[in-house]
Amino acid sequence: MPSDADLNQYLELLSFGSISTDSKYKDQVLACANWLERKLNAIGLKATQYETPGNPIIIGRGPVKSGRPTVLIYGHYDVQPVDPLNLWHKPPFEPTIENGIVTARGASDNKGQIFAHILGIEQTLREKGDLPVNLIVLIEGEEEIGSVNLAPFLKAHREELACDVIAISDSSMIAPGYPTFTYGLRGIAAIEITVTGPDRDLHSGIFGGAVENPITVLARLIAGLHDENRKVLIEGFYDGVRDLAEWERTSWKELPLQEAALLKMTGAPALAGESGFTPLERIWARPTAEVNGIGGGYQGEGTKTVLPSKAQAKFTFRLVPDQDPAKIVAIVEDYFRKHAPPSVKIELSPGHYGQPYLVDPHAGYGMAAQRALARLLPDCKPALIREGGSIPIVADFKSILNADTLLLGFALPDCNAHSPNETFPLAHLDLGARLNRYLLEAIAG
Ligand SMILES: [Zn+2]
């Protein structure tokens, strides 16, 4: 358990309502940034606060010595909104502790996890007057709103932020007690489609049968995205998809997140997906074509005999190494244009996209991460996992700073990140502090 002084500092950090999406909280965001700058200076780093067009970025630096690697630890001090407030058992910015569990907005995401790193750094500096590596701590205040100012900041400060590897703890262990190393993320490409038939809604009795129904066309186009084995039928979709390694297939079968757990988490009556792959393989290492929303025609009460003018749908494609999001957008557009009949017009508007990410967990700093986790929880083999989601900053770090990221989260899957009553086990402050120490030592070699 953390000392009283450390615990009080953690609770102080949690008491800032640093919600980045709502300008009402701007003062709290700035106060939180000031607090962190002071804290990093107080533990013996040299901390500076940088203005951005949005919220400030805090940079802390440890002692620099030549001949040792530079590690950048990333975290964020902004938090998600607290709505719906009535579902919280206690006020979200007045942290409470019960049975060793802290409840507050930001308790795990990301204040608890970044604060644990700060504790680890503080302990090492106090004991040794130095760190095993050259350290840069970067804490931003806009992660929950897309980190829009981070990439420009990285570009502008490329030289000062040059590093060999990046560590981020902003994810969860796969299950309590499982030291977890996330070495891969899926990428994403978003696109919207509008199918237009007649130039206005028509009477389905007067015109139906002679004029195209755009909803029928869109439904057919969507149904045509997959075959009966859930393979995506867009030409070229699987180009560049890296095969799963044999060790991944074997080790993922031993993880505690199998079919039964997924059924329980989702409430779905049965799982479904691409044949030839297990559920985890489908989520972590296979690309998908997902319809996120569909609309068109009359949706009010009762009947309206209308032949609608338009139908719309939103899609996201989750991508894996080495698919290229820009290419995927291009072939998806080709698919819709090629298969739409001449009786409709098609408009496509691509949305955001992010690159997939993979670091070799069995090489270089990947091995260092594994060694640190094995030392942290020696009774349990480190879980080497990928995630189905996307963390765009990881791709930014790679493309701008040319450094790999080690994702070593130690929140728990039931910490309610982004939900009411967010929690963090106090024991994980110590766990994270130790992980920080072991990781920096392992990276130093
Ligand atoms: Zn978050």
Span 147-205, pLDDT tens digits: 999 999 999 999 999 999 999 999 999 999 999 999 999 999 999 999 999 999 999 99
CB proximity list for 209: less than 8 A, separation 6 or greater: none
Residue 352: predicted pLDDT = 86
Q: How far apart are the first and last CA of the chain?
A: 28
| Alpha carbon of 175 to ligand 1 centroid (Å) | 19
* pLDDT at residue 288 greater than cutoff 90: yes
**How many residues belong to the chain?**
445
When pLDDT is cut at 50, 70 and 90, the band that residue 392 belongs to is confident
| Alpha carbon of 415 to ligand 1 centroid (Å) | 12
In the predicted model, what is the mean pLDDT of residues 100-110?
97
* pLDDT at residue 1 greater than cutoff 90: no
* pLDDT at residue 8 greater than cutoff 90: yes
| Alpha carbon of 211 to ligand 1 centroid (Å) | 47
| Alpha carbon of 394 to ligand 1 centroid (Å) | 14
Give yes or no for a contact between 366 and 359, defined as CB atoms under 8 angstroms apart: yes
* pLDDT at residue 433 greater than cutoff 90: yes
When pLDDT is cut at 50, 70 and 90, the band that residue 391 belongs to is confident
| Alpha carbon of 390 to ligand 1 centroid (Å) | 12
Condensed to tens digits (0 to 9), the pLDDT of residues 318-338 reads: 999 999 999 999 999 999 999
CA 354/CA 10 separation, integer angstroms: 33
| Alpha carbon of 109 to ligand 1 centroid (Å) | 5
**CA distance readout (Å), 387 to 214, 279, 283, 334, 384:** 36, 12, 7, 29, 10
| Alpha carbon of 258 to ligand 1 centroid (Å) | 25
In the predicted model, what is the mean pLDDT of residues 242-258?
95
CA 48/CA 44 separation, integer angstroms: 13
| Alpha carbon of 418 to ligand 1 centroid (Å) | 6
When pLDDT is cut at 50, 70 and 90, the band that residue 114 belongs to is very high
What's at 274, amino acid-wise? E
Find the range with the poorest average confidence among 233-242, 261-270, 397-406, 422-431: 261-270
Domains in the chain, start-ordered, CATH in brackets? 4-185+356-444 (3.40.630.10), 187-241+287-354 (3.30.70.360)
Structure tokens belonging to residue 362: 């069995």
| Alpha carbon of 221 to ligand 1 centroid (Å) | 35
| Alpha carbon of 54 to ligand 1 centroid (Å) | 17
| Alpha carbon of 417 to ligand 1 centroid (Å) | 6
| Alpha carbon of 82 to ligand 1 centroid (Å) | 12
Residue 148: predicted pLDDT = 92
| Alpha carbon of 408 to ligand 1 centroid (Å) | 15
Condensed to tens digits (0 to 9), the pLDDT of residues 331-382 reads: 999 999 999 999 999 999 999 888 999 999 999 999 999 999 999 999 999 9
| Alpha carbon of 76 to ligand 1 centroid (Å) | 9
3-state secondary structure of 65: coil
Q: Which residues surround ligand 1, an ion (CB under 5 A)?
A: 109
| Alpha carbon of 170 to ligand 1 centroid (Å) | 8
* pLDDT at residue 390 greater than cutoff 90: no
Angle between helices 214-223 and 325-339 (to 10 degrees): 130
Residue 350: predicted pLDDT = 95
| Alpha carbon of 231 to ligand 1 centroid (Å) | 32
